Amino acid sequence: MTVSENNFALTLFSDYESSARSYCRNFPAVFHRASGCYLYDQHDNAWLDFLSCAGAVNYGHNPVPLKDALIAYLAADGIQAALDMHSVAKAEFITAFNTIILQPRKLDYKMQFTSPTGTSVVESAIKLARKVKNRTNVVAFTNGFHGMSNTALGLTGNRDNRQNAVDAHVFRLPYDGYLDGLDTIAYFEKLLTDNSSGMDIPAAVILETVQGEGGINVASKTWLQRLHALLQRHDILLIIDDIQAGCGRTGHFFSFEFAGIQPDMVCLSKSLSGYGLPFSLLLFKPQWDQWNPGEDNGTFRGNTSAFVTAKAALEHYWRDDTLSLHIFRQEQVVVQWLEEIKLRFPHFIKQTRGRGLFQGIELYSPELAKKITQRCFAEKMIVERAGDRDQVIKIMPSLTIPEDTLVAGLMILERAMEDCFSEAPATSQAVTQDILCPTGGVQ
Ligand SMILES: Cc1ncc(COP(=O)(O)O)c(C=O)c1O
């Protein structure tokens, strides 16, 4: 792509684009092209990407094997709009997903291609769960994020996101580790067995195994296993929202694999196409396939170009464990660095946590978290925040990132921390937070 003489001013967007816009406010540049771990702006400056479009480009930008497959498909006039009619592209994706992902993991799931965003696959999952269980109530967790439609917002915890009239039939439970000493599974069991607890028996429970927008909160293996067993005892469906944590982000293709559980339903989107194309997939155990024909309809179900790139992604990255091993090695690099910076800056860093290349640094001060990510942006690196007060710096590079690029990014982040912490007033430090929040703050 040529570097154009473009010189678009940022005011073009503020003048004409809705104020609903968000990421562009934190990263005020005009981007033009992208390749691997880098975005390039309209003046061809390179920006190191530690956000990966919130998990929508896990394999980096424009990965070559996927691009080649897409170009070949377009050049051959491959069918694009097809509603949900059969296509060769869809057949090839289904075959690849079965043989490369499901069968080796002994997972028996039907596939539903829902409308193409994350929030729409969540909609379909909840709609189906309510139908097959003939119950309305659904359980979601504190700090969970599931999208922006009314149903998904009802499941989402954050007050800034929630609106009037969100789905009200949601019972919220504390996520793993929400409150020191609280056994949330025992509490849930008590609610289910106490006929006067006030909780209607839910059709389903939906959760992320690592909460992305909620601040990289990590559910433990035993917590997930106990939850799964509890739900089986009480005939309640388990829905894993793997929209952000899935497609390799935690090291395995699915984020729940490490716990050895088999959810009733799995929501996939974001990096499923591997190419940043809108594409979503709901997986469910065959006995839950109780839809009537057309009951969950939509024009754009199964983006045909995405079938092509998704199949190429499966074949290129998931046929063996090369990518997983790379992710786990890079995870070690990040975790070791996180331990070092935690020791260096104990008054500013409250906790570090994560799985795979989905890591977070929780600061005591949200203002400092903001300042650090702004400092990184000034150094041409894109890194985002998450958490209830945006106090968690989110480390989410491409899963294919070379180790030296990863380390270079961590060094930019470390220098930004050094600068911001050295300039920080004492009020940004742990001591003040402890006075305000004796239990160590709200997660
Ligand atoms: C876990 C999770 N679920 C659902 C969604 C919603 O996806 P979308 O923005 O494509 O609607 C997101 C988006 O960040 C997410 O992280």
261: amino acid identity, one letter: I
Please say which residue of 254, 286, 317 terminates a domain: 317
Say yes or no: CB of residue 54 within 6 Å of ligand 1. Answer: yes
Same domain? For 291 and 405 the reply is no
State the distance from the centre of ligand 1 to the C-alpha of 246, rounded, in angstroms: 11
Give the integer Cα–Cα distance in Å for 140 and 157: 8
Coil, helix or strand at residue 57: coil
- Residues written for the chain: 443
State the distance from the centre of ligand 1 to the C-alpha of 368, rounded, in angstroms: 26
Question: Exposure string (b/e) for 181-214, b if CB count within 10 Å is 16 or more?
Answer: eeebbeebbebbeeeeeeeeebbbbbbbbbbbbb
State the distance from the centre of ligand 1 to the C-alpha of 118, rounded, in angstroms: 5
Residue 150 within any structural domain of the chain: yes
Nearest ligand 1 atom to the CA of 245 is 1
Q: How many domains does the chain have?
A: 2
Radius of gyration of the chain (CA): 22
Domain, as residue range, for 216: 78-317
Give the integer Cα–Cα distance in Å for 427 and 217: 25
Residue 68 within any structural domain of the chain: no
pTM for the predicted model, two decimal places: 0.95
CATH number at residue 127: 3.40.640.10
- Contact (Cβ atoms closer than 8 angstroms) between residue 227 and residue 187: no
Residue 185 within any structural domain of the chain: yes
Same domain? For 343 and 207 the reply is no
Nearest ligand 1 atom to the CA of 269 is 10
Same domain? For 25 and 101 the reply is no
294: amino acid identity, one letter: G
Residue 139 within any structural domain of the chain: yes
Q: Tell me the pLDDT of the chain (443 aa) as tens digits.
A: 655 567 999 999 999 999 999 999 999 999 999 999 999 999 999 999 999 999 999 999 999 999 999 999 999 999 999 999 999 999 999 999 999 999 999 999 999 999 999 999 999 999 999 999 999 999 999 999 999 999 999 999 988 888 887 888 999 999 999 999 999 999 999 999 999 999 999 999 999 999 999 999 999 999 999 999 999 999 999 999 999 999 999 999 999 999 999 999 999 999 999 999 999 999 999 999 999 999 999 999 989 999 999 999 999 999 999 999 999 999 999 999 999 999 999 999 999 999 999 999 999 999 999 999 999 999 999 999 999 999 999 999 999 999 999 999 999 999 999 999 999 887 778 864 444 433 333 32
Say yes or no: CB of residue 93 within 6 Å of ligand 1. Answer: no
Same domain? For 96 and 231 the reply is yes
**For ligand 1, mutation pick of 126, 270, 281 (most atoms within 8 Å of CB):** 270
Please say which residue of 257, 289, 317 terminates a domain: 317
Please say which residue of 283, 302, 317 terminates a domain: 317
Residue 441 within any structural domain of the chain: no
Same domain? For 303 and 425 the reply is no
Nearest ligand 1 atom to the CA of 213 is 16
Give the integer Cα–Cα distance in Å for 56 and 271: 4
Same domain? For 37 and 165 the reply is no
Same domain? For 345 and 427 the reply is yes
Nearest ligand 1 atom to the CA of 144 is 1
Same domain? For 174 and 278 the reply is yes
26: amino acid identity, one letter: N
State the distance from the centre of ligand 1 to the C-alpha of 132, rounded, in angstroms: 24
